[in-house]
């Protein structure tokens, strides 16, 4: 017996896992019947399991046609050639696009509007590879034959065009890698769904600049160049400083370090 074929999970097992994983990642899910009848993301992945089998066995047009019908039904476009791992979940689902050569690992979560797209007209590997446990926020675009390591997280509306190491978060356009320290999943199943807890490096930089500006204003006030009575230096105080106060022994030349 072929060990590869015997160890490969059956189609029904994959489908059952796709349905059961919804309860671990969506608190709105109440029962299996509701998930099977009202979740377009579940409909799309269940049908993709079938179309992917058709694709691999040479039934290319049939797979594409069924995938086309599923797109009309669910508003989710998954190419039958895409390879998707176990326990895959698309939350809400509207507008999700997954290209032909995309490879998705196990326990991956996508939100609505996500695109796993290509950046070239050439055939061959042109879509992303996602590791296990990857989470991609709403509206994000992951483009090209890049790799997102295990546990990587992409913030909403980000555009990722470069590789992302494991357990890193990406935000912005183009995506910038940011490190989140001391974060842990609050999901009892160990899946980190806190995709809103993304650091803001730009905001942090602006905060540092504001602190530095306050220090400089205090130095200007101490030198007599502006009045901090109103809480801040006026623009005119800095751009057009008053004449040196001779009785205090302060001159522009001395302020510049001259003798």
pLDDT tens digits, residue range 107-150? 999 999 999 999 888 888 999 999 999 999 999 999 999 999 99
Task: Give the residue among 134, 141, 140, 148 at the shortest CA–CA distance from 118.
Answer: 141
Sign of the torsion formed by the C-alpha atoms of 50, 153, 197 and 98: negative
Residue range 17-28, pLDDT digits in tens? 888 888 888 888
**Listed range (76-85, 104-113, 153-162, 217-226) with the worst mean pLDDT:** 217-226
pTM: 0.67
pLDDT at residue 145, as a whole number: 93
pLDDT at residue 85, as a whole number: 92
Q: Bridge-partner residues for 91, per DSSP?
A: 111
Task: Give the residue among 206, 225, 203 at the shortest CA–CA distance from 216.
Answer: 225
Give all domains of the chain, ordered by start, each with its CATH number. 3-199 (2.160.10.10), 202-255 (no CATH)
User: Residue 31 — left, alpha, or beta (φ > 0 → left; ψ -120 to 50 → alpha)?
Assistant: beta
| Residue 226: C-alpha distances to residues 116, 231, 249 (Å) | 55, 11, 16
The first and second tokens of residue 234, run together, are: 């006026």
- The label of the residue with tokens 């079938």 reads 50
């Amino acid at each position: 017996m072929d060990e590869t074929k015997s160890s490969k999970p059956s189609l029904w097992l994959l489908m059952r896992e796709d349905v059961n994983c919804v309860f671990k990642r969506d608190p709105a899910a109440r029962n299996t019947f509701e998930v099977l009848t009202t979740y377009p993301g579940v409909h799309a992945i269940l049908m993709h399991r079938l179309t992917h089998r058709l694709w691999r066995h040479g039934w290319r047009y049939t797979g594409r046609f069924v995938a086309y019908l599923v797109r009309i039904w669910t508003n989710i476009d998954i190419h039958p050639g895409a390879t998707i791992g176990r326990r895959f979940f698309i939350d809400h689902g509207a507008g999700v696009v997954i290209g032909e050569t995309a490879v998705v690992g196990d326990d991956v979560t996508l939100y609505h509007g996500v695109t796993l797209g290509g950046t070239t007209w050439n055939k061959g590997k042109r879509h992303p590879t996602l590791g296990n446990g990857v989470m991609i926020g709403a509206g994000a675009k992951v483009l090209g034959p890049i790799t997102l390591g295990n546990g990587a997280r992409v913030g909403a509306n980000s555009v990722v065009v470069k590789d992302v190491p494991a357990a890193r978060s990406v935000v912005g356009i183009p995506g910038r890698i940011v490190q989140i320290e001391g974060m842990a999943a609050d999901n009892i199943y160990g899946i980190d769904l806190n995709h809103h807890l993304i650091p803001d490096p730009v905001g942090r930089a602006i905060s540092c600049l504001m602190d530095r500006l306050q220090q400089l204003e205090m130095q200007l006030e101490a030198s007599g160049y502006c009045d901090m009575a109103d809480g801040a230096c006026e623009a005119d105080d800095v751009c057009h400083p008053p004449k040196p106060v001779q009785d205090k022994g302060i001159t522009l030349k001395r302020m510049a370090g001259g003798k």
